[in-house]
Structure 1
Amino acid sequence: MRNQAFFLPILFLSASLYGQDTTQITIPGSVINFRLVYIPTGQMDVQGSDGQTVSIQLDAFWLAAREVAYDEFSLFQQRQYDSDASDWPAGEYRADAVSRPTPQYLDYTYGMGTSGGFPAVSMTQQAALRYCYWLYQKTGQFYRLPTEAEWAYACRAGQDWAPEELGAYAWYYDNAYDAYHKIGQKAPNPWGLYDMLGNVAEWTLDEYQKDYLAAIGMETSNPWVKPEKRHSRTVMGGSYDSLQKECSCTHRQRSQPRWQARDPQIPKSIWWNTDSPFVGFRIVRPEQQPSAEAVEAFFQEAIRD
């Protein structure tokens, strides 16, 4: 499952460290919850392949402390959990109208584990985004995937990582025994984020571009490389199947059509990558919540069939 790797050197960053605020969210209509960590406003210096350095500014946001678990994602898949339970203050409830993943006809986890704390895997980026939209309808709070810049910024957490320390923080090729593990078993980074490196790689919001700085151009405040087509997207962090050098906060991986190699459908599923059990995701909740109109416009722009 070795995948082509690309690297974006990051010099790094200014922000307050440690003592991060956290909040716990229970998904309405269930007992399933997840925890968000407050990521402060900060600055990140990004160096391109030509040696050029660009300073990127990032607004504060809340980031899931852990990757989305199968237990959370399965609530999205099962319509019977969508009663009238919602935290919308005005009672506007439309979670039951959100499109859902089709049933899996193969074991996309390859027997590595589902319920009980394992990461949700093998979904397309579109499926991850539709989970965010469903969660928005359930809670009245806007959730999405992190941008590539947000992900890298949160991963570094104001410090450089020593490669020899990787085993304390990450499941990767040398210690994972060719399988992902339950989330949160390794040490968190200084901002309290678990499994940012290894275990499963994570979808970001960005369309993949080899030259990241050229792609963002003059957009140095909260940059997002917006999608123009279905493929490809940037995946970050490495996985249980990644070498040590591939598990870093600067590791960029390009999603591939071959991740659907076993899918017999024509056209291929918009929900599942049959051959990427090494990819999952975590979610962001922006500190500044947009209007309902802006949220709808965002998902229209972010999701490309």
Structure 2
Amino acid sequence: MVQIPAGEIQLRDDRIKTAWTVEVNSFWLAPVPVTRALYFSIMQKTAGSNGLPQAPVVDVSWNDAISFCNLLSQHSGLKECYAVSDDGERIVCNWGADGYRLPTEAEWQYACKAGTTGYRYGELDTIAWYHENSEGMVHEVGTKLPNSWGLYDMLGNVWEWCWDLYDVRVYGSYRVFRGGSWAEEARGCGATCRRRSHPTFKIDDLGFRLARSL
């Protein structure tokens, strides 16, 4: 995993035209999204229709990603980050645990930008698989150029679930995902583009990436 330095990032919500600054502690972030091969090795089941083992796993819900993080932590001898209620409706994160977890929205955007100030960290065709160059399918991870912190596929290929709730007052339990995908138009593949859905939602261009607290 890549150690991301501490810093700060400005998040914004274009719907209500507001922005806020978040302090980000140093943390670990995987250089690529979770692959089908890794997902299968832990869950003993696969997801998505693409047969490439090193393609990002897709058709996984936010809840699936939480379960994977806890199981991978167990397999790795690490302390689980997530405490899940018996009915599965309440999930609490222990930020001090050393296990695997989803990045927060602020961590994700901060790591995606990697010190840059624009909407993207490079020219889109060289860093991302998206609607115009993907030929209608997901691709193996790490085949486009990384950002300056060595992170691949932060834009394009698959959207990535984050930990955060989107807006409890308006959308209830909906969670954030970021980054654009192989099916997304160019305008949706940027560091500040925010999307959301129910934590049980699954689709063929949505996966996730692992983080760990330091």
The residue type paired with residue 182 of structure 2 is: Y
Name the structure 2 match of 1:185.
143
Kindly name which structure, 1 or 2, has the bigger radius of gyration based on alpha carbons.
Answer: 1
C-alpha distance after superposition, 1:85-141 (max 9, x if no partner): xxxxxxxxxxxxxxxxxx67xxx534x3242x1111111111111111011111133
Distance 1:167 1:161, change over 3 A: farther
**1:285 and 2:212 correspond:** yes
> 186, 197, 210: which is aligned to 2:155?
197
Cα gap change, 1:128/1:201 in structure 2, threshold over 3 Å: closer, same or farther? same
With structure 2 as the length reference, what TM-score do the two structures score? Answer: 0.81
1:143 to 80, 93, 100: 100
Residue 155 (structure 1) aligned with residue 112 (structure 2): yes
Query: Quick one: structure 1 residues 149 and 156, their matched pair in 2 at CA, closer, same or farther if it must change by over 3 Å?
Result: same
Paired residue for 1:255, among 180, 184, 197? 197
**SS of structure 1 residue aligned to 2:101:** coil
Aligned-partner Cα distance in 1 for 2:19–2:156: 27
Structure (1/2) with the larger strand percentage = 2
Could you list the runs of 5+ residues in structure 1 that have no partner in the other structure? Answer: 1-35, 79-102, 216-227, 258-269, 288-305
Tell me by how many angstroms 1:54 deviates.
Answer: 2.7
CA contact (8 A) 1:239 1:279 kept: yes
Amino acid at match of 1:242: E
TM superposition score normalised by structure 1: 0.58
Aligned length, in residue pairs: 192
* Matched position secondary structure for 2:163: strand
| Superposed counterparts of 1:93-132, under 5 Å | 109-110=48-49, 112-115=50-53, 117-132=54-69
Mapped to 2, the partners of 1:71 and 1:62 lie a distance apart of: 21
Q: How does 1:1-305 map to 2 (within 5 A)?
A: 36-49=1-14, 52-78=18-44, 109-110=48-49, 112-115=50-53, 117-141=54-78, 142-161=99-118, 165-209=123-167, 231-256=173-198, 273=202, 276-287=203-214
Instruction: Specify the code of the residue in structure 2 equivalent to 1:241.
Output: A
The 3-state SS of whatever aligns with 1:277 is coil
Percent identical across equivalent pairs? Answer: 37
**1:161-188 Cα shifts (integer Å, max 9, x gaps):** 4668101000000000110100000000
- From the superposition, tell whether residues 46 and 119 of structure 1 become closer, same or farther in structure 2 (CA, over 3 Å): closer
Paired letter, 1:251: C
For 1:161 and 1:113, locate their aligned partners in 2 and report how far apart those are by CA, in whole Å: 35
